[in-house]
Amino acid sequence: MAPAPASVILGPSSDLTPAIGTVFGPNTQLTDLLGNDEAVAALAKLVSERGVLFFERQGITLAQQKELMLRLGALSSPPRPNGSGLHVHPISEDSPELGADTSVISSAGGIARAGYVKNARASGGWHSDISFENYPSDYTMLKMHTIPTTGGDTLWASGYEAYDRLSPAYQKFLEGLTAEHDGNFFHRTAKLENKKIQSPRGHIENSGEDLRSVHPVIRTHPVTGWKTVFLNKTFTTRILELAPAESESVIDYLTRHVSENHDLQVRYRWQQNDVALWDNRCTFHTATNDYGSAPREGFRVVGVGEKPYFDKEGSKSRAESLAGSAGL
């Protein structure tokens, strides 16, 4: 028997744009889905297809957020590999109440303020969470408990759509290239805030103080089998196979391709206690620092996924895959 559609299992939702983003109203409560394996599996599949899901006015606690993030990994298909758990950020607050596997996203400092440069272009903030790790993230869940009256929106962009917009010749050129991702700027914040770099961080291969890794520029998403661009403005420093000037030019082209195509993005205006759940393997996101000194804070839980790979024969683009589906 075919599995029930996601709308039956998870409740009604609306797609915010064709390329990315789906929102559920407050009648869908993540706490009600927690004990339901079929629902958690449907959630894992849907977020990998749509990139980011929003859930309005949620009652979920931080402990339940962590439980759901562990279950999402266990029930996704294929499941999160053994050895991958919840990420511990290099400069995690690590307080006894919150635990080292909670990232506090706060306007007051810490992770969300690391690397922030006043007067820099807002488009410089696009990233995929913790792509500097050898085993980077699959899913992130963020619940905002304190929001400014206005401002502080978050934007996401689709890596699938970014791939699909490239010409076949440029797609082919990028496939097989690898790039370095560097998060060593967190050392500056660690020093300023008198913190030690956490280690290990959700996987034994995410250990030590050098926050650098190398990943394919075009990556196969293990759940959908779709190709996605996996390179971002915040962490990617160079493409290993290219000369420095070529590398700089390709990184500039691809990051502008993401930030300047607003039709592959979605912008979300938070209400208090909204939750966003996104897939870091096929999306980018950025904060909007337009709310001055107004308090803004949320709790983020980040899952560690698999080692990124590119499977030339076994992957399709999203557009190819949807064009081949019945009725699409």
Q: How many CB atoms within 10 Å of residue 63?
A: 10
Both structure tokens of 255: 């990051």
Gap between the Cα atoms of 202 and 198, Å rounded? 10
Return the number of the residue (33 or 86) whose C-beta is nearest Fe ion: 86
∠ CA 199-288-121, nearest 5°, is: 95
Stretch touching Fe ion by CB under 5 A, among 122-130, 141-149, 155-163, 302-310: 122-130
Of all residues in the shown chain, the one whose CB is closest to Fe ion is 129
Return the number of the residue (157 or 174) whose C-beta is nearest Fe ion: 157
Quick one: which H or E segment has residue 212? Answer: strand 212-216
Site string for Fe ion, 77-116 (x = CB under 5 A): ----------------------------------------
Whole-number minimum distance, CB 170 to Fe ion, in Å? 27
Whole-number minimum distance, CB 278 to Fe ion, in Å? 9
Whole-number minimum distance, CB 146 to Fe ion, in Å? 17
Stretch touching Fe ion by CB under 5 A, among 52-60, 73-81, 121-129, 182-190: 121-129
Whole-number minimum distance, CB 129 to Fe ion, in Å? 5
Return the number of the residue (164 or 182) whose C-beta is nearest Fe ion: 182
Whole-number minimum distance, CB 142 to Fe ion, in Å? 8
The verdict on 138 binding Fe ion (CB under 5 A) reads no
Note whether 217 and 230 are within 8 A (CB): yes
Stretch touching Fe ion by CB under 5 A, among 126-134, 183-191, 261-269, 317-325: 126-134
Burial class (CB in 10 A: 0-12, 13-18, 19+), 109: middle
**12, 161, 199, 320 from 258: Cα distances, Å:** 29, 9, 32, 20
Note whether 77 and 302 are within 8 A (CB): no
Return the number of the residue (250 or 304) whose C-beta is nearest Fe ion: 304
Both structure tokens of 55: 């859930």
Q: How many CB atoms within 10 Å of residue 141?
A: 24
Gap between the Cα atoms of 282 and 277, Å rounded? 13
Return the number of the residue (74 or 120) whose C-beta is nearest Fe ion: 120
Site string for Fe ion, 157-186 (x = CB under 5 A): ------------------------------
∠ CA 67-36-227, nearest 5°, is: 75
236: helix, strand or coil = strand
Return the number of the residue (129 or 133) whose C-beta is nearest Fe ion: 129
Residue from 93, 101, 129, 182 that binds Fe ion (CB under 5 A)? Answer: 129
- The site that binds Fe ion (CB under 5 A) totals a number of residues, namely 1
Both structure tokens of 188: 């500056």
Whole-number minimum distance, CB 98 to Fe ion, in Å? 17
Query: Roughly how many angstroms between the first and final C-alpha of the chain, as a whole number?
Result: 22
Return the number of the residue (89 or 318) whose C-beta is nearest Fe ion: 89
Residues that bind Fe ion (CB under 5 A): 129
